[in-house]
Structure 1
Amino acid sequence: MTAASRVRPPVVCVGETMAALVPDPAAPLEEAAGLGVRIAGAESNVAVYLADHGVPARWVSALGDDPFGRRILGEVAAAGVDVSGVRTDPHRPTGLLVKDPAPDATRVHYYRRGSAASALTADVLEEDAVRTAGLVHLSGITPALSPGCRALVAALLDPSPSQRPRPVSFDVNHRPALWTDGTAPEVLLGFARRADIVFVGLDEAQALWGGELKDAEAVRELLPEPGVLVVKDGGTDAAAFDGTGVHRVPARRVDVVEPVGAGDAFAAGFLAGLIRGESTVRALRLGHLTAGAALGVTGDHGPLPDPARIAGLLDATVREWAAES
């Protein structure tokens, strides 16, 4: 049985979500006229986009017993995500980030040390919210938050894939600011090698594991273990290795407003395709279409195209798809 064929709902996404303060309208933080409150979290982003695609999704995390935590919980639940596995911690706050837009890039300032989610440990695995999962989705952000969070990720990936009660999807999602101890290359490579499904950007792989990784095939040589490996090359294409070979789908042209959240959206679209029983190529297309929704907005979550539009593009010939790429 392949990794793809083992993917079943509900998909349980485990990781931290923070309140995000964003200049509104967009401007450098020191010049901002005001700040808007949004939410930001890789794993909850995936859960929300899965729900958009009609896939049962559950988010497991911890929040502070504070207004930010209640706002996050309400917004994720309102998007159709099961939040029954979210803990409320009366002693630790909800994490916070502040965006600082600049002409060259958007800088992000984190205030998450000692947050409620950073206190998560491997005991999460004993909860029904995780034990009843059809697939668990993780990212490389979580193991950087604390030793307990790293132990949680290690425990979810502890059994070999053949003995694992449910497959595990892992988005490398390297955040250099969180890895001040210099262990990111070794730790993230080890976790990626133990996952069933892995998402990684080509530039991300190069930054972590060496510039000699010139293409997706080189990344596959480094990561032969996952049953499914998806290597994203920015706005160029995405390649998926699924045991039958390599499948490539070019990215569609999109007017990019902000890239934050696009990787999470891509992962959700691809996983939704697998759960629907789509081919690897169609799952890649659904990943691109979902990522496009995130690229077109200033927040992490944008509206999906009309269902008829999605169906038409999934059914498009290679030439028709390429014409939009």
Structure 2
Amino acid sequence: MGESMAVFVPAPGDRTWIEGVGGAESNVACHLASRGFRSRWVSALGQDSFGRAVLSRVRAAGVDTADVHIDPTRQTGLYFKEPGAVTYYRRGSAASALGPDLLDRISLAHTRLVHVSGITAALSPSCLGLLRAVLRDRRGDYRVSFDINWRPALWEHGGGPELLRELADSADIVLVGSDEAEALWGTDDPAEVRALLPGPETLVVKQGADGATLMESGQRVFEPALAVDVVEPVGAGDAFAAGFLASTLDGQGAGRRLRAGHLSAAGTLLTHEDVGEQLPAELASALLDADEPAWRGARVSTEGVRLG
């Protein structure tokens, strides 16, 4: 549940732009659909060509878009992505008008998991109200996963650190980058982040190329990241979230869930797309079951995987 926008990236070698789709929550929905889950994206788009393009792309990925509202008066958000810079045009977008009343128009009766992110909280007061309602006014037997997704440019009026901590502490599953935790709360240590967020059943601190730490039921598990020849990092966090959540929904153990996140992220790191391809199933399965030396020695590139 959250905003997706039309995204434009410069085409190589000339002055034209290539249109795509960008949105943390819809990225996760697309990844989950590709893994065979019934995945639904809930949002709002403008009644414009950009909105139609976003809707078509997400729907083509196998995601249920029946609960996407088409707003006849507000536009679809846009952003332009250039090397080293991202420019957003999302103020007053259709998704920024979402609010708690959205929950009266959709059914969550058969939902196992609702995934949201901190981006939504920054879009408008009504969007913040929606997140609070999702996290506190549960309308079904589902868990809520919350990806911090710290975007300082969206919090121009301040309040981000306190609000994001409040929201995250009401979730069941929280994912946060160590760099985000440092920027928000002054620490990148998983134990200290856990002390700040005692509420969630599950906390994952993503530590970049080093790996990720899972803290759950008094247990602390670290799993190193795969070595990847990175093409572009955008979208890798969403891919990690989807891989981890898919494995969580399948009831897998701690280390395997973290590895599933790393494998999913690796597929996106190898592409310019926000939603990359999964690694081949046989290879992913072998890596999930690999012993520690083999996992640590593997290196993933666009040419394949080299085992150490």
Cα distance in 2 for partners of 1:203, 1:150 equals 23
Q: Output aligned runs, 1:170-249, within 5 Å.
A: 170-210=146-186, 213-249=187-223
Task: Give the Å deviation of 1:130.
Answer: 3.6
Larger deviation, residues 237-246 vs 188-197: 237-246
Task: Give the Å deviation of 1:131.
Answer: 4.3
SS, match of residue 309 in structure 1: helix
Q: Given that residues 32 and 242 in structure 2 are in contact (C-alpha distance below 8 angstroms), is that contact kept between their aligned partners in structure 1?
A: yes
SS, match of residue 40 in structure 2: strand
**Gap regions ≥5 residues in structure 1:** 1-13, 27-31
TM-score, normalized by length of structure 2?
A: 0.94
Larger RCO of the pair (alpha carbons < 8 Å, separation 6+): 1
Cα distance in 1 for partners of 2:114, 2:188 equals 30
Equivalent residue for 2:57? Answer: 75
Equivalent residue for 2:136? Answer: 158
What is the identity percentage for the equivalent residue pairs of Structure 1 and Structure 2? 51
Cα distance in 2 for partners of 1:186, 1:245 equals 26
Deviations 1:184-212 (A, max 9, x none): 000000001110000000110000011xx
Residue type at the aligned position of 2:161: P
Deviations 1:251-271 (A, max 9, x none): 001111111111000000000
Partner of residue 102 from structure 2, selected from 116, 124, 130? 124
Residue type at the aligned position of 1:25: P
Cα distance in 1 for partners of 2:189, 2:175 equals 14
**Gap regions ≥5 residues in structure 2:** 300-308
SS, match of residue 57 in structure 1: coil
Task: Give the Å deviation of 1:316.
Answer: 1.2
Cα distance in 2 for partners of 1:90, 1:130 equals 25
Equivalent residue for 2:10? Answer: 23
- 1:135 has 2:117 as partner: no
Task: Give the Å deviation of 1:165.
Answer: 3.4
Cα RMSD for the two superposed structures: 1.5
- 1:47 has 2:29 as partner: yes
Partner of residue 277 from structure 1, selected from 251, 259, 267? 251
Partner of residue 67 from structure 2, selected from 73, 85, 91? 85
Q: Which portions of structure 1, spanning 4 or more consecutive aligned residues, are displaced by more than 6 angstroms? A: none
Cα distance in 1 for partners of 2:280, 2:188 equals 36
Residue type at the aligned position of 1:17: S
Q: Given that residues 116 and 144 in structure 2 are in contact (C-alpha distance below 8 angstroms), is that contact kept between their aligned partners in structure 1?
A: yes
In structure 2, relative to structure 1, the CA distance for the partners of 1:114 and 1:286 (3 Å cut) is same
Task: Give the Å deviation of 1:128.
Answer: 3.2
In structure 2, relative to structure 1, the CA distance for the partners of 1:84 and 1:164 (3 Å cut) is closer
Partner of residue 146 from structure 1, selected from 124, 130, 133? 124
How many residues align structurally? Answer: 299
Q: Given that residues 144 and 179 in structure 1 are in contact (C-alpha distance below 8 angstroms), is that contact kept between their aligned partners in structure 2?
A: yes
TM-score, normalized by length of structure 1?
A: 0.89
Larger deviation, residues 124-133 vs 254-263: 124-133
Cα distance in 2 for partners of 1:222, 1:319 equals 34
Equivalent residue for 1:61? Answer: 43
SS, match of residue 233 in structure 2: coil
Cα distance in 2 for partners of 1:232, 1:187 equals 20
Cα distance in 2 for partners of 1:39, 1:241 equals 33
Task: Give the Å deviation of 1:159.
Answer: 4.3
